[in-house]
Structure 1
């Protein structure tokens, strides 16, 4: 290259660099002006950002998501925009340990704690502008690493301050902030003698459960939690705040009823209450050697009890050393409901609680805990099948051998849980406009497991039991003609693909809706984890 060529090259590259810097400066000015801040705060943010133009240019060019420096700029901006009390630093261990599973304890660059939907809108605008990786936490009960937690560089948006509970004048609708836990919701509704279809565990957060569908003890009669939403109040990727219901943004309304964290951040859920407060329940204990008989009774109840009387449900948890069966009936009764006859033909080792009438509050005090220690590693996993007692028993025999071996090596506790899904659950959902889950109209069960262990070195060994068990569900159920591909999102483990089991038509529709409301794919590209449409 001759000297003249060098001069031309240096001239044009300098012109391009200056133009890029000017464009970046204009982008910064436009962003800061849109925050409606005081002159002093605007100057402070603009000065800090202009001092890091080169780092921001890389982000704005689309060549990279935010680096550590840029994420720190985003946190600095959030502190000024939202106030220092709404932004916690990386060293805040209380925020780090806000997730249930120790496997999810990660320290973000900062945590934003919004106090209103407007705060959430500003947080989303900041994340979007700086192209920052982020995670959203409602209750933090997911055991999947990165779903409601994020390390550095990244920002956690923790919704725990959005914990309002507002009951309508006729007690027909309750409005819930996503920062609530279900135990608080049930307690708040007790004076009105109504309840909602929500979580079966008191400490689970409102937001994640509903967006994943939400199975409750009374779902056979009233549908999933998501089916009982009247309205979603949502912050979209561009910071716009809208409502999604049966009259407004109806496509988004449908998508949010089980479509996961793919469309926006819901800052308020308006739920229909249900007129159930007083009900009947009983708790029976059986021994491990009775499991085959208990599984026979469960399948018989599914076929001849739940399919006939949708007020009846069974909550059954099998562990390595015990079998707990809860019999629930959604109205008071003076006698044992006939639907539960298969269980009475067995001889329980203990009647832990004789059949009696009580309240939803008392029921949740009894059933609303997992028994897990908070400071442990946890995991779930999901599978499903048609009703098939022989299949249940074969799978249990496989699982108990595997789980016992791993327990002897690691001390890991594991459970075997069959969750009844009668056809009446589908009817209830369809009556409220349907959802994207694509459930077939038939009697099913959703299997899950709760796994607790301590040592991270045992992760693969411990999780291997549930992975092998789900593979066994699929192979044996297929051979017996009892197979179902459906995976329930709220029980799914990190490597499963629940959205992929909703059916090709529903999945395509969900992707189109996500594209409509988030054309820049903020929730697909920047969200740290979750069951995302981009990976379904």
Structure 2
């Protein structure tokens, strides 16, 4: 493992044209020289292509020099330590769990190596402890399926195709957040590989500072290779999608504000409101995901929505896995997410939907893609969520410094062809800046940015507050003193 280090000084004198090829040879060859040799995938091989094209958004599909697929924490340790040793500064690497983040270069890389954790995808239930041990490459659909025979579940992704690792490290909003806090608050233990290659466990008694930092701190400390989550008793849920005509917007906003302000009276309820336009049908509709985490139809928290005439309604008693599958987003498109957080103020929601409708008209006039979609998702973030977090030891999201009920908005655009990148990407970023300016004029803007929905143009970690920022940098310095995960691994960094 020491031999590749000898070539590092040569990098400074190589002609620029040969630099990428030389670094590729050094970094991938170093992996090839380890016991992982059969798990290193090169361009044009079937395994490489399968991994590279399996990202949720096509714009996140990059071309790393090679891809390595570990099967265990020990494999991850070998991969990380080898890349760190092979070249002190040039073996950059990305870490990919489910690959659901649409931002290019967050969980993938050009001019580097991608560590693809998709082969580490098992879920093990420890009945005596009430703990589910979940590997980072699993998708939530497989987690729910694995736990269902035991009559338990965990607070996980509301879409079955979302990967475990990124979701949990970004906080994680689940159907159960109003009952148990964010998904990250329910991680009892993280097994993590540090930049040194060491495999350690972070929990309330062993490395408690790292345990807290990982609850929202993303990939800034190492590669998490196992999450041990506290389980919940599993009932059938009541839920589904209810579709309404866009003309009911005023009633919907009133119902949404009421729901958010009163969620503390019945935390079994969950709601996601979507204002959606699809070019395929030329339909501008409203679609609500209503979920109740007990087998009780039409519970009181949904009373205001029930007063509004709908077009269709799939609500029923069903499993969490089936309800999550119903919320899966279509793959095979270019995507952008942008997100903001606001006070639970009807004027903010009215402005957001007005801006959304204006963007639809702009896209109609200019889009070249045969198929495109524009969505605005509105979700309650009442202070009840972080009251649970505090009761469980806290996280680093920084929401506990706010006393108001909030709402979290996601602008989510999809389109078929790269020629429309210059249209949809600015529309998604401009609508956010315009809404932020309006919210600020109402004293209704909040600085928190949900990392799991953030665009690469945003800085979610800065929204955690100065105290958490200092804490995260201190923990990163302690566990990654050479800043490998700050400087050589892409994603949302501490700055």
Taking structure 1 as the reference length, the TM-score comes to 0.85
- Does the Cα contact within 8 Å between 2:42 and 2:66 map onto a contact in 1? yes
Deviations 1:386-437 (A, max 9, x none): 1111220122112211133214421531101001112221111112111011
Structure 2 CA distance, aligned partners of 1:326 and 1:103? Answer: 27
Q: Give 2:459's match in structure 1, choosing from 497, 518, 529.
A: 497
Residue 439 (structure 2) aligns with: 477
Structure 2 CA distance, aligned partners of 1:144 and 1:157? Answer: 17
Q: 1:431 to 1:279 in 2, by over 3 A?
A: same
- Does the Cα contact within 8 Å between 2:157 and 2:324 map onto a contact in 1? no
Residue 382 (structure 1) aligns with: 339
Structure 1 CA distance, aligned partners of 2:25 and 2:229? Answer: 38
- Does the Cα contact within 8 Å between 2:31 and 2:83 map onto a contact in 1? no
- Does the Cα contact within 8 Å between 1:56 and 1:70 map onto a contact in 2? no
- Does the Cα contact within 8 Å between 1:86 and 1:113 map onto a contact in 2? yes
- Does the Cα contact within 8 Å between 2:359 and 2:427 map onto a contact in 1? yes
Indicate the SS of the match to 1:403.
helix
Q: Give 1:293's match in structure 2, choosing from 251, 265, 269.
A: 251
Residue 69 (structure 2) aligns with: 113
Q: Give 2:124's match in structure 1, choosing from 149, 166, 172.
A: 166
Structure 1 CA distance, aligned partners of 2:137 and 2:31? Answer: 20
- The structure with the largest alpha-carbon Rg is 1
Q: 1:83 to 1:234 in 2, by over 3 A?
A: closer
- Does the Cα contact within 8 Å between 2:190 and 2:224 map onto a contact in 1? yes
Taking the TM superposition and a 5 Å limit, the aligned residue runs for 1:161-310 are: 161-170=119-128, 172-303=130-261, 305-310=262-267
- Does the Cα contact within 8 Å between 1:407 and 1:413 map onto a contact in 2? no
Residue 414 of structure 1 pairs with residue 378 of structure 2: no
Residue 281 (structure 2) aligns with: none
Indicate the SS of the match to 1:135.
strand
Gap regions ≥5 residues in structure 2: 278-283
Indicate the SS of the match to 1:217.
coil
Residue 326 of structure 1 pairs with residue 289 of structure 2: yes
Q: CA deviation at 1:472?
A: 2.2
Structure 2 CA distance, aligned partners of 1:180 and 1:307? Answer: 32
Structure 1 CA distance, aligned partners of 2:26 and 2:440? Answer: 53
Indicate the SS of the match to 2:114.
strand
Q: Give 2:406's match in structure 1, choosing from 444, 466, 480.
A: 444
Structure 2 CA distance, aligned partners of 1:140 and 1:436? Answer: 23
Residue 140 of structure 1 pairs with residue 93 of structure 2: no
Q: RMSD between aligned alpha carbons?
A: 1.9
Residue 80 of structure 1 pairs with residue 33 of structure 2: yes
Q: CA deviation at 1:282?
A: 4.7
Residue 19 (structure 1) aligns with: none
Q: CA deviation at 1:97?
A: 0.9
Q: Give 1:427's match in structure 2, choosing from 387, 401, 404.
A: 387
Q: CA deviation at 1:327?
A: 2.1
Q: CA deviation at 1:60?
A: 9.8
Indicate the SS of the match to 1:307.
helix
Structure 2 CA distance, aligned partners of 1:361 and 1:522? Answer: 37
Gap regions ≥5 residues in structure 1: 1-30, 33-45
Q: CA deviation at 1:90?
A: 2.5
Residue 397 (structure 1) aligns with: 354
Indicate the SS of the match to 1:160.
helix
Q: Give 1:338's match in structure 2, choosing from 295, 300, 303.
A: 300
Indicate the SS of the match to 2:295.
coil
Structure 1 CA distance, aligned partners of 2:272 and 2:58? Answer: 27
- Does the Cα contact within 8 Å between 2:238 and 2:318 map onto a contact in 1? yes
Indicate the SS of the match to 1:322.
strand
- Does the Cα contact within 8 Å between 1:171 and 1:192 map onto a contact in 2? no
Q: CA deviation at 1:67?
A: 4.9
Structure 1 CA distance, aligned partners of 2:443 and 2:36? Answer: 59
- Does the Cα contact within 8 Å between 2:341 and 2:448 map onto a contact in 1? yes
Q: Which moved more, 1:291-300 or 1:508-517?
A: 291-300
Q: Give 1:460's match in structure 2, choosing from 416, 419, 422.
A: 422
Indicate the SS of the match to 1:481.
coil
Structure 1 CA distance, aligned partners of 2:68 and 2:310? Answer: 51
Deviations 1:248-273 (A, max 9, x none): 10110000000111000001111111
- Does the Cα contact within 8 Å between 1:403 and 1:465 map onto a contact in 2? no
Structure 2 CA distance, aligned partners of 1:349 and 1:441? Answer: 37
Indicate the SS of the match to 1:295.
helix
Q: CA deviation at 1:223?
A: 1.1
Structure 2 CA distance, aligned partners of 1:171 and 1:508? Answer: 34
Indicate the SS of the match to 1:383.
strand
- Does the Cα contact within 8 Å between 2:103 and 2:456 map onto a contact in 1? yes
Residue 57 (structure 1) aligns with: 9
Structure 2 CA distance, aligned partners of 1:325 and 1:503? Answer: 32
Taking structure 2 as the reference length, the TM-score comes to 0.92
Indicate the SS of the match to 1:204.
coil
Structure 1 CA distance, aligned partners of 2:423 and 2:326? Answer: 32
Indicate the SS of the match to 2:265.
coil
Q: CA deviation at 1:98?
A: 2.4
